[in-house]
């Protein structure tokens, strides 16, 4: 296992620790207040813990080196983490609705609201700090697992803020119905977040292209080499698999070039692409520029 993967695992362990701490704080806040809004917040933290544990597992799987059965590596495993996290969020939303609807029909007074608010605010501060760190590290190391976990924690921060505001309004106004209404709003919001995570996971499993920005940089590089050497490019195909990117293209060179010349140029281009697109595996197919057959295989399914 590489040093980079071990470092990423440390952040996954941090997310696990944060989830355990916030579960304790939010559950105690619900216990002392009886607020279904705070209960909904505690249930979402249970999802955070399950997601963080699965994220740790998938980071380990994704870091495994290529083998005979998986010659391109295991990096797609990270998408399973994001997909499961989205599914768990939807399940948690259902549990929140089950708890909130009866309370909406028969509102109940809250006990010790100030203590509950203080505990929830402390848990929210922990989640905010960990979420910002995970998002930053995930983007830096191109880890969709850490980034998704960070964004999930950030939604927890916003929902917690909403719950705190709702409980505070109940305390100030005495409108007990606000507590279950806030819980229902939280449930609907996290369903939206869960669906978004599932969609992102499915998109990755369907071999989506690399970002438009990265693809634009590759095309600009092709234009540069076309002007300098009189070569051409086509059949550019890209896909993203977790932290890894895969880029393939055809390089059309002048007919009189030797194999060695074409190979040297392709190696230079591939090195330039790897410097522009992090964690990229680049594959080049060399063809003579004036041979009509060179233009018959530009599509994925050759006629």
Q: Is residue 78 part of a domain?
A: yes
Give the structural domain span for 273.
212-295
Do 183 and 69 lie in a common domain? yes
The structure's pTM equals 0.61
Distance (Å, whole) CA 227 – CA 218: 15
Do 152 and 276 lie in a common domain? no
Do 51 and 163 lie in a common domain? yes
* pLDDT computed for residue 274 by the predictor: 94
**CATH number of the domain where residue 172 is located:** 1.20.1510.10
Q: Are 12 and 131 in contact (CB under 8 A)?
A: no
* pLDDT computed for residue 36 by the predictor: 67
Helices 36-62 and 178-205, packing angle to 10 deg: 20
Residue indicated by tokens 């939010």: 26
Do 94 and 229 lie in a common domain? no
Q: Is residue 300 part of a domain?
A: no
Q: Are 132 and 151 in contact (CB under 8 A)?
A: no
Do 246 and 287 lie in a common domain? yes
Residue indicated by tokens 């890894």: 244
The span from the first CA to the last CA of the chain, in angstroms, equals 43
Do 47 and 155 lie in a common domain? yes
Q: Is residue 122 part of a domain?
A: yes
| Domain end point (choices 186, 205, 224) | 205
| Domain end point (choices 151, 172, 205) | 205
Do 141 and 61 lie in a common domain? yes
| Domain end point (choices 205, 231, 261) | 205
Name 253's bridge partners. 288
Do 19 and 67 lie in a common domain? yes
Q: Is residue 267 part of a domain?
A: yes
Residuewise pLDDT in 10s, the chain (303 residues): 444 445 778 888 888 898 888 888 888 888 877 776 677 667 767 777 877 887 788 777 777 777 788 777 777 776 776 677 677 777 767 766 776 666 666 665 555 567 777 887 888 899 899 989 988 888 787 777 787 778 777 777 777 777 777 777 777 777 777 767 777 777 777 777 777 777 777 776 777 788 889 999 999 999 999 999 999 999 999 988 777 889 999 999 999 999 999 999 999 999 999 999 988 889 999 999 999 988 887 776 665
Q: What are the DSSP E strand ranges found in 120-197? A: none
Q: Is residue 40 part of a domain?
A: yes
Do 90 and 239 lie in a common domain? no
Do 126 and 238 lie in a common domain? no
Q: Is residue 301 part of a domain?
A: no
Do 65 and 111 lie in a common domain? yes
* pLDDT computed for residue 100 by the predictor: 63
How many domains does the structure of the chain reveal?
2
Burial category of 91 from C-beta neighbours within 10 Å (exposed 0-12, middle 13-18, buried 19 and up): middle
Do 99 and 84 lie in a common domain? yes
Q: Is residue 96 part of a domain?
A: yes
* pLDDT computed for residue 81 by the predictor: 67
Q: Is residue 303 part of a domain?
A: no
**CATH number of the domain where residue 284 is located:** 3.30.70.1350
Largest CA distance in the chain: 87
């Amino acid at each position: 296992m590489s040093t980079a993967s071990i470092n990423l695992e440390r952040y996954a362990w941090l997310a696990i620790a944060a989830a355990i701490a916030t579960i304790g704080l939010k559950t105690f806040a619900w216990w002392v207040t009886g607020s279904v809004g705070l209960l909904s917040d505690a249930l979402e933290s249970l999802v955070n813990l399950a997601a963080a544990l699965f994220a740790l597992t998938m980071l380990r799987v994704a870091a495994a080196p290529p083998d005979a059965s998986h010659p391109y590596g295991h990096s797609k495993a990270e998408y399973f983490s994001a997909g499961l996290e989205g599914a768990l969020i939807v399940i948690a939303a259902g549990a929140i609705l089950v708890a909130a609807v009866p309370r909406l029909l028969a509102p109940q007074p809250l006990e010790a609201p100030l203590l509950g608010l203080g505990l929830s605010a402390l848990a929210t501060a922990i989640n905010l700090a960990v979420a910002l760190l995970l998002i930053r590290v995930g983007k830096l190391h191109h880890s969709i697992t850490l980034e998704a976990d960070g964004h999930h924690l950030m939604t927890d921060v916003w929902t917690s803020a909403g719950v705190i505001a709702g409980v505070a309004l109940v305390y100030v106004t005495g409108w007990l119905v606000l507590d279950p209404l806030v819980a229902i709003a939280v449930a609907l919001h996290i369903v939206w977040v869960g669906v978004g995570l599932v969609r992102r996971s499915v998109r990755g499993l369907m071999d989506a292209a690399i970002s438009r920005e990265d693809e634009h940089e590759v095309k600009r590089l092709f234009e540069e080499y076309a002007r300098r050497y009189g070569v051409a490019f086509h059949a550019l195909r890209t896909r993203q698999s977790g932290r890894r990117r895969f880029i393939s293209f055809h390089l059309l060179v002048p007919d009189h070039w030797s194999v060695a010349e074409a190979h040297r140029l392709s190696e230079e281009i591939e090195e330039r692409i790897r410097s522009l697109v992090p964690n990229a595996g680049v594959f080049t197919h060399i063809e003579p520029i004036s041979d009509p057959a060179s233009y018959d295989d530009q599509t994925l399914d050759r006629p």
